[in-house]
Amino acid sequence: MAAPHVAGVVALIEASGVKDPDKVMQVLKQSSRKVADDTLNYYGSGHLNAAAAVSLASQGQLGVPDFLRWARDNGYLSPRFWVDGGAIALIPKLIMVIGSYLLAWLINRWLPFRWNWSFSNGVFFGGAGLFFLRGFYLFDLTQLPFRIAGSSLPELGNAFANTNALNPITASVLLPLGLLVILLGHPEWKWFAMGSAIGTSACLATSAVLAPQMMWIGDGLPAIAFLSVNAILCFGCAYLSIKSETANI
């Protein structure tokens, strides 16, 4: 039943003066209502909105102002959409970034080592990742790749499930420990593994304090205990690995 509804709206758009097929498609997309939590892009550009489509087509010209109006109506031009609307938890992410590098700096003070880009990238991707990509939205693209690219190591599990509750498998010492086991023999990538363990430690510790939500475990004290213990284990793995490397220098 979707096709006849869209065809009817297309007829209304053409009756409003927009005849070019590409511009008709543009009207349909820009006038649609965005569907929240549509990770797999079942709804494409969104819900069909006949009234908005006719109103947009009646203006007789589509351009930057029309796009800005669509972005405003859907919240994309509002900073609160990105910060408070759930797309990006900005404050916790900043705490994770600062905490990750603070932990790395402290270890570097105790066990002096040569700080390199591989280590810095590991700290960043373990702690916060490219978090600004989680709320990125384009009309016809599925959101899942952006959610994955915008996730830190502990958040990879809930990126697929489209939930804020952390997955106990990825939000634990398992991933950092696995990276250390696999990469410890590599001259450069081993520092990425060590950095990711530090970043993961900061991410889990921040989550334990600010948002202790876990799949299958729930929230509250059990989630806090799980995240705290694994944060300590991640830090311990990083510390012991760096201590072993610095002892050989």
Which pLDDT value is given to residue 175? Answer: 95
- From 17, 50, 77, the end of a domain falls on 77
pLDDT classification of 48: cutoffs 50, 70, 90: confident
Which pLDDT value is given to residue 138? Answer: 60
Task: Check whether 1 has a pLDDT greater than 90.
Answer: no
Mean pLDDT of the chain: 83
Shared domain for 98 and 176, answered yes or no, is: yes
Shared domain for 117 and 70, answered yes or no, is: no
- List pLDDT tens digits, range 218-232: 888 999 999 999 999
Shared domain for 116 and 34, answered yes or no, is: no
Give percent of the chain with pLDDT exceeding 70.
80
For residue 14, give its domain range.
2-77
Shared domain for 122 and 233, answered yes or no, is: yes
Which pLDDT value is given to residue 243? Answer: 92
Q: Give the whole-angstrom CA distance, residue 182 versus residue 184.
A: 6
Q: What is the tally of structural domains in the chain?
A: 2
The arithmetic mean of pLDDT across residues 26-34, rounded, is: 80
Q: Give the whole-angstrom CA distance, residue 249 versus residue 228.
A: 32
Higher-pLDDT residue of 12, 41: 12
pLDDT classification of 61: cutoffs 50, 70, 90: low
Q: How long a stretch of residues is the chain?
A: 249
Beta-carbon contacts of 37 under 8 Å, excluding residues fewer than 6 positions away, are 162
- pTM for the predicted model, two decimal places: 0.67
Shared domain for 98 and 51, answered yes or no, is: no
Residue 153's region, left for phi above 0, alpha for psi from -120 to 50, else beta, is: alpha
Parallel, antiparallel or unpaired: strands 213-214 and 218-219: antiparallel
Residue 218's H or E segment, with its range, is strand 218-219
- From 77, 105, 132, the end of a domain falls on 77
Which pLDDT value is given to residue 192? Answer: 96
Shared domain for 56 and 144, answered yes or no, is: no
User: Scanning the structure block, which residue is given the tokens 């809930």?
Assistant: 158
211 touches 227 (CB < 8 A): no
Which pLDDT value is given to residue 88? Answer: 58
- List pLDDT tens digits, range 129-142: 888 777 666 655 56
Shared domain for 202 and 243, answered yes or no, is: yes
Beta-carbon contacts of 203 under 8 Å, excluding residues fewer than 6 positions away, are 96, 100, 126, 127, 128, 152, 153, 154, 155, 171
Residue 213's H or E segment, with its range, is strand 213-214
- From 77, 93, 108, the end of a domain falls on 77
Give the tokens for residue 232: 């300590």
Shared domain for 25 and 91, answered yes or no, is: no
Q: Give the whole-angstrom CA distance, residue 154 versus residue 131.
A: 12
